[in-house]
A = this chain, B = another copy of it.
């Protein structure tokens, strides 16, 4: 089993509140039933952060210990909705508190969907009552369906560590260029954690995983990653940050694999760099090039577009000598010392995964970024869908 209820101490559900015209599931609720509940959160750095982000960030900063529940809806992002949007987020938390008989300050709120439209509060409030009555220890799968927007499939995960477990769910297929977090994600664990340890571990895990995922260069107003710990395993975990990072990496990979219209999931590794920060910026810069991404859509190992994008990274940020740069496409070298090398027709393009390595010849540091190709289907989804 995978998902948020795959570890002890959690109940969840996903229901159709009627917020989405299609009648699909659109409201998820996660409840931490553990005796030592703790939460942590990482949020978007977008200056137009949505009302649920502003609300959850504030509530979490005042009481991560004892945090019990997360309510998530798809269909409306409650972003750019002004004072009324904030009131709606507060009313949502209050309704969950009443329905679950807990303090509203023990409830976090996440929304995703169309920017600029108000939450349909009548449907939200009646949906919360239905959801509260539907909570179960098998509800993780339904919850993972309820948070999707343009995703083709739900993303869930389970990780068995030494003496504790981690489960999780995430949504996101477009507008994936997190800066501090990505889209909506709830990770649960039965590890016994204090709030500070939980928050630090989540920040490290996000920096290494979701923050190195860039689908289309567009950062959302609603990105939120929540960690809920139930403490049901009864003991403090060993190697928790590494286990959490691995869990988040698996979810990040699933987000990339389902990116809007993508035919290829692309890992861009910048190696032999002088320092990791510079390598990461170089990898992100390459990952945002529409010309690199369309070349991969066309199964064309076009290293010229890669080095020309690399050439836009300032020397002060990422020092290297252009005449020492090499490029490998799926393990086949196509550029050596800044010029053509080998036979580009030898590059295999038969699997979804594409591995791109750019060797700078400037040191021993490296960094990788996950991205995807840019296809006709992406244009179709985003020219026709109002989001």
Residues of A in contact with B (beta carbons under 8 Å apart): 45-49, 77, 79-82, 85, 114-117, 174-175, 179, 216-221, 288-291, 294-295, 297-298, 300, 302-305, 307-313, 315, 322-323, 335, 337-340, 374-376, 378-380, 382-384, 386-387
Which among B216, B291, B384 is the interface contact of A291 at CB below 8 angstroms?
Answer: B216
* Most chain B CB within a 10 A radius of its CB, from A47, A219, A311: A47
Query: In the bound complex, do residue A290 and residue B340 qualify as a contact, i.e. CB atoms below 8 Å apart?
Result: no
A223 to chain B, nearest CB (A): 10
A248 to chain B, nearest CB (A): 22
Query: In the bound complex, do residue A46 and residue B82 qualify as a contact, i.e. CB atoms below 8 Å apart?
Result: no
Majority SS of interface residues in chain A?
A: loop
Query: In the bound complex, do residue B48 and residue A311 qualify as a contact, i.e. CB atoms below 8 Å apart?
Result: yes
Query: In the bound complex, do residue B219 and residue A80 qualify as a contact, i.e. CB atoms below 8 Å apart?
Result: no
Known A304-B116, A322-B48; judge A295-B383 contact (CB<8 A).
yes
Query: In the bound complex, do residue A80 and residue B304 qualify as a contact, i.e. CB atoms below 8 Å apart?
Result: yes
Q: For A80, list chain B residues within 8 Å (CB).
A: 304, 307, 335, 338-340
Q: For A387, list chain B residues within 8 Å (CB).
A: 291, 302, 304-305
**19 pairs from A and B in contact (CB 8 Å cutoff):** A45-B312, A47-B311, A47-B313, A80-B304, A80-B339, A82-B337, A82-B339, A115-B308, A116-B303, A218-B290, A219-B309, A221-B304, A290-B374, A294-B383, A295-B383, A297-B383, A302-B386, A374-B379, A375-B383
Which among B219, B310, B335, B386 is the interface contact of A311 at CB below 8 angstroms?
Answer: B219
* Most chain B CB within a 10 A radius of its CB, from A80, A115, A179, A376: A80
A266 to chain B, nearest CB (A): 14
Query: In the bound complex, do residue B220 and residue A308 qualify as a contact, i.e. CB atoms below 8 Å apart?
Result: yes
